Structure 1
Amino acid sequence: MPSLKEVRNRISSVKSTQQITKAMKMVAAAKLRRAQNKIVQMRPYAQKLTQILQNVTSSLVGDDFNNAYSQARTPEKILLVVITSDKGLCGAFNTNVTRAVNLLLNDTYRSQHAKGNVTLLCVGKKGYEYFKRRNVPLISDYSTILTAKDLGFGDVLPAAEFAMKGFLDKKYDKVVLVYNEFKNAATQILQTETLLPIQIVKEDAPAASQTSKSKDKQLQSDYVFEPNKEEILESLIPQTLKIQFYKSVLESNASEQGSRMTAMDKATENAGELLKELKLSYNRARQANITKEILEIVGGAEALGK
């Protein structure tokens, strides 16, 4: 049985840890509110922009539509955009992303990875540090994006432009985003999305129902294109891709704060349970010492009486 001093030291240590985890939970909750507000405001804009793009491209069937960002090539060279966090203590947030990337490397893009044709663009220090220890080509120029005090579109834009330029220059045949989508403070959904080439929704797609077709046509009739659809797409597609990239980073940022808040809340609860056990052990040890001292006194008194 540990001594009373050892138990007291452990109780003091656990109390200090509990105060730290409680403070970190409060900080994460404050950051989560700001990050959640950003992504909630961004989602409608990103969804509407994507809807407009689909409405415009759906009417350009066959050879009428030819955009560099939509050119589907044999995926020999892959760019994986891995979005993690800069700091730890956020539960399985980073582990889920790195596990998904490892699955892509060892399964989906196994042959490309064996040839060294899979490159990782890491947004966040944790992902960069993890894959730096492994034999994977890395782009580290954008790993410090999340250090910005107030993460904005301008902070993410260089990374998005790098991925887009790499696809246009045929340096990469496919660009894939791997990140955590924010659902609520306790739930994050791992997403693996293809950023490039863009997926064009055709007007005569067989999967579309007659009702959805009529709705699409109704939506298209609400727009007047000036000067023409092709010129609009030249500016609309790059903007949509950049917004999609930025939205993924905001989703990941909100998910990180939610995951950290949940993890710190659980750690605080665990510290409370541990304190209960330590106090019980302390009381038992103290009671045993008192009983031992009483027995020694009684034994000494009896010896003196004899």
Structure 2
Amino acid sequence: MASLKEVRNRIVSVNSTQQITKAMKMVSAAKLRRAQDSIMQMRPYAQKLGEMLATVSAGTETAFESPLKKARPVEKVLMIVVTSDRGLAGAFNSNVLKATLNRIEARYAEQARRGQVEILAIGKKGAEALARRGYKVDTRYTDLFTRLSFVAVKEAAEQIMAAYSEGQYDAVELVFNEFKNVATQIVRTEPYLPISSDTTPGPAGSASSVNYLFEPSEEEIITELIPKTLKVQLYRAVLESNASEHGARMTAMDKATDNAQELIKELKLVYNRTRQAAITKEILEIVGGAEALSA
């Protein structure tokens, strides 16, 4: 049985940990409100922009070719993996990593064996974990969350589009956590490049039956829409992941605080029992000594 001092020290230690988890929960709750507002404002814009591209593309009389629409035999693959910079967020990061590895194994196993699957990591946790598994990791944007803005994400999207247009990659996919609510995050794996009207969300109904008048030309409009849509798509994924991270950490810290409280109760019970046993032992020793003296 542990001594009274050891049990007392454990109670103090667990109590200190509980104060830390409470503080982290409050910080995550404050950050979550801002992150949630950002993604709720971005979603309608991203959806409408995707619908616009799908509708205009379907309604054009002539097929417009773009380097970003050109499909090639898949030899080189880029996976954009969005995780967090810090841990203590439950299964937030491990779920994204598991989905990434499953996707590679299911669809790009041959390319992976040839070393032609690369990772563009947004967030340090994903970069570290995938580098340990032997993947080539681009770490230029691992610190994106420390300077989170559309300008920073736009720079990353432009680099990816340029690399695809130059033939450095034949397929680009995006893996991230989509925010549903504080307790639930859904891992999404989405094709990023090449773009396809089949994978671009659009409004219900047939858009091909609509005749459009273009000003300026349809080529100029679509040339502008395609990069903008891809930039917004990546920015939305980063915002989704940011809100999901704070929700996951808030939930994890709440559970950790509750677990610490339960542990403190158990330790206090052990402390009281140990203290009672020590007092009983002292009383028995005193009684035994008194009896020995009177004999």
Decide: shared fold, TM above 0.5.
yes
- SS of the equivalent of 1:226 reads coil
Q: Deviations over 1:134-163 (max 9, x none)?
A: 221111111111122xx2101111211111
Q: Deviations over 1:49-79 (max 9, x none)?
A: 0111111011236x62322211111111111
- TM-score normalised by the chain length of structure 2: 0.95
| Structure 1 position 270 matched with structure 2 position 270 | no
| Structure 1 position 249 matched with structure 2 position 223 | no
Contact 2:181–2:247 (CA under 8 A) maintained in structure 1: yes
Distance in structure 2 (CA, Å) of the matches to 1:27 and 1:113: 40
Distance in structure 2 (CA, Å) of the matches to 1:212 and 1:45: 17
Correspondence for 1:236 among 222, 225, 237: 225
Q: Deviations over 1:94-114 (max 9, x none)?
A: 101111112123332000011
Q: Which residue of 1 aligns with 2:18?
A: 18
Q: Which residue of 1 aligns with 2:35?
A: 35
* Percent identity between the two aligned chains: 57
Contact 1:57–1:201 (CA under 8 A) maintained in structure 2: no
1:114-193 to 2 correspondence within 5 Å?
Answer: 114-148=113-147, 151-193=148-190
Quick check: 124-133 or 251-260, which moved more? 124-133
One-letter code of the match for 1:98? L
Q: Deviations over 1:145-187 (max 9, x none)?
A: 1122xx2101111211111111111111111001100001100
Superposition RMSD in Å: 1.9
1:66-145 to 2 correspondence within 5 Å?
Answer: 66-145=65-144
Contact 2:59–2:208 (CA under 8 A) maintained in structure 1: no
C-alpha deviation, 1:201, in angstroms: 4.1
One-letter code of the match for 1:195? Y
Quick check: 240-249 or 126-135, which moved more? 126-135
Q: What count of residue pairs does the alignment treat as equivalent?
A: 293
Distance in structure 2 (CA, Å) of the matches to 1:112 and 1:201: 25
Contact 1:58–1:201 (CA under 8 A) maintained in structure 2: no
One-letter code of the match for 1:37? D
Distance in structure 1 (CA, Å) of the matches to 2:127 and 2:33: 27
| Structure 1 position 3 matched with structure 2 position 25 | no
Contact 2:58–2:208 (CA under 8 A) maintained in structure 1: no
Distance in structure 1 (CA, Å) of the matches to 2:39 and 2:118: 28
- TM-score normalised by the chain length of structure 1: 0.91
Distance in structure 1 (CA, Å) of the matches to 2:127 and 2:176: 14
Q: Which consecutive residues of structure 2, in runs of 5 or more, have no partner in the other structure? A: none
